[in-house]
Amino acid sequence: MTADTRVPLTPRAPEVLSRRARYFVEGHGLRVPRRDLTPFREAWLGHGIPPAEIDRAVAFQERWGGIALPPAPAYEGGPRVLEADVPEGSTEDGWRFPAGDCRVSMAHGFEIGPGGEFGIDADRWTPLHASTEGWVEALALADHAGYWAETITKIKGDAVEELDLDGFEPVPEVQGLADTWWRGKDSLIAVYRGEASGFDASHCLRAHIYGGLDAWGLGK
């Protein structure tokens, strides 16, 4: 496979990200040589992969390919390096393509869904965020909240369902689907439902509560 060695080591964050997320990507991320998917196009077409799906994988690779970000607080850290690969699926069920290899051995992988969702391929496809941008925003917010919080409380299983979110509002930039972030008066709460949903295993529910945050820490 050929590699693009002209890409600088410091990644350039897409302008659509928040200022916090752009700083996170450019200040804490690293860009390694990324694969050029162009040589695979004809072979993929020969295997019946629609041109539009190949175009999606190529677009992802051009925007995110080769970017390595700090580990996520869940899913054993997320992809080691964001990297597209051959799309799989069908017209009936929709097409998805890999988003990058896991950091450790996992029972699921990371994929980009038919509508651009970022999710996991567990026992069933489970979108975590509506886009890769949402996933990156969530990583940046976890890094920000973890730095500024006076306390961090982690809960799991049925205790997550007992969380009182009255008075909290969803954090829109993370584009949450299975995973969501909630902003309160002086705290942020991250709820991770992906593995619980993908494996139908309620004991996999996780939530992180970042307490004692001021206006800056709340990340508005």
pLDDT one-digit tens code per residue, 114-162: 999 999 999 999 999 999 999 999 999 999 999 999 999 999 999 999 9
Cβ-contact 201, 212 below 8 angstroms: no
Q: For the chain, what is the largest distance between any 2 Cα atoms, rounded to a whole number of angstroms? A: 56
Helix/strand/coil for 64: helix
- pLDDT for residue 1: 44
Alpha carbon distance 43, 161 (integer Å): 47
Alpha carbon distance 20, 140 (integer Å): 7
Taken in order 147, 130, 170, 190, the sign of the CA dihedral is: negative
Q: What tens digit of pLDDT does each residue of 186-217 get?
A: 999 999 999 999 999 999 999 999 999 999 99
C-beta atoms surrounding 94 within 10 Å: 12
Alpha carbon distance 19, 15 (integer Å): 9
Q: Domain spans of the chain?
A: 3-136, 147-211
Strand partners, 187: 211
- Band (pLDDT 50/70/90 cuts) for residue 88 is very high
For the full predicted model, state whether its pTM sits above 0.85: yes
Q: What tens digit of pLDDT does each residue of 26-79 get?
A: 999 999 999 999 999 999 999 999 999 999 999 999 999 999 999 999 999 999
Cβ-contact 109, 121 below 8 angstroms: yes
- Band (pLDDT 50/70/90 cuts) for residue 3 is very low
